[in-house]
Amino acid sequence: MLPCNYNHLYYFYRVAVHESVSRASKELLIAQSALSTQLKQLEESLELTLFNRTKGGMALTDKGQLIYKYASHMFETYDDMRRAMALAEKEVKGPLKIGSVNSVGIYLLPEILTNFHREFPDVQIHLEMHSSNEVIELLQENLIEVALIAWDRKYPQLTAKKIMQNSLMLVGHPKHPLVRKKSVSLEDLREHNFLGYENGTPTRMMIDSTFKEIGIPLKYVLESANIATIKHLAIEGMGLAFLPEIVVELELKDKSLKVIKVPDLLLERPITVYWKERRALTRPAEEFLAFLTQAKEGSPVQA
């Protein structure tokens, strides 16, 4: 007995359903002679007679009925699978694994994720917060599907899309000398203490590169990977800090921090979403990426 050909078995199944080569050939859009040849080849491969051919049509033999029983189950199961897959394509449910840096995860994502959950309540969101390099590593190792970080560096096999530009504001304690000064120049920053991001982080590198070009090195009295720590130490008056507007929004309203405007200084960092170029995304991940794009275009969250 030779292995069954899928097409041969399917043709047999449809002929058995119709009990006619003529009617089955019309459904399958195949010539009657070609269909009869396919049935004959199946019988030869199985070394069985599957039909009794009569003037009234095609009647299954005992062995044919046995083959039909299993073929029916197989093709009905296949149809069920196709329907289930089609339904799954429409449904948005299951896990969504996101990685982000602290500033994005704590201050930007809460509103976005809340709105996303409202629209897709059957998605279970898992958010991890790490350094930029660690988040990218998680993405490259397929441990997360979407990464959100505060830079726009290119990586092999990763797709990147900038979703917003994030302004950095120079802030300090309300009683800081530069807060009370009417006009602040770049040179004025030279003698004051700064609270910095951890060395090697994208935002720190961008700030240091800018001031290196200007020729004014900043005097760091503290470095931290935690943006909330930097903010709270600025509130305590330990030093000045460059912080994203969204991070200090409440503190500017309650006046626990004040903005120090330097006319000749503009610092911005991009917020970029990354995903694996050749990895098939889950439906939750697809919808989340679309949601981020809509958020950018509709601007429900300002950064």
pLDDT digits 0-9 by tens, 242-301? 999 889 999 999 999 999 999 889 999 899 999 998 788 888 999 999 998 876 543 333
pLDDT of residue 98 exceeding 90: yes
Q: Domain-by-domain residue ranges, the chain?
A: 6-90, 94-162+274-298, 166-269
The domain defined by 166-269 folds into D-Maltodextrin-Binding Protein; domain 2 (3.40.190)
196 bridge partner residues:
223
The pLDDT confidence band at residue 76, using thresholds 50, 70 and 90, is confident
pTM of the model: 0.67
How does pLDDT run across 11-39, given as a tens digit for each residue? 999 999 989 999 989 888 899 999 999 99
- Beta carbons of 273 and 147 less than 8 angstroms apart: yes
pLDDT at residue 147, as a whole number: 97
pLDDT of residue 86 exceeding 80: no
How does pLDDT run across 157-185, given as a tens digit for each residue? 999 999 988 889 999 999 999 998 988 99
pLDDT at residue 144, as a whole number: 95
pLDDT at residue 296, as a whole number: 56
What angle in degrees, to the nearest 10, is found between the helix axes of 6-18 and 32-46?
110
What CATH number has the domain spanning 94-162+274-298? Answer: 3.40.190.10
What CATH number has the domain spanning 6-90? Answer: 1.10.10.10
Percent of the chain with pLDDT over 70: 95
How does pLDDT run across 100-109, given as a tens digit for each residue? 999 999 999 9
**Average pLDDT of the residues in 114-125:** 94
What's the CA gap between 90 and 73, in Å, rounded?
Answer: 26
pLDDT at residue 2, as a whole number: 58
What's the CA gap between 243 and 62, in Å, rounded?
Answer: 80
166-269: same fold as 94-162+274-298?
yes
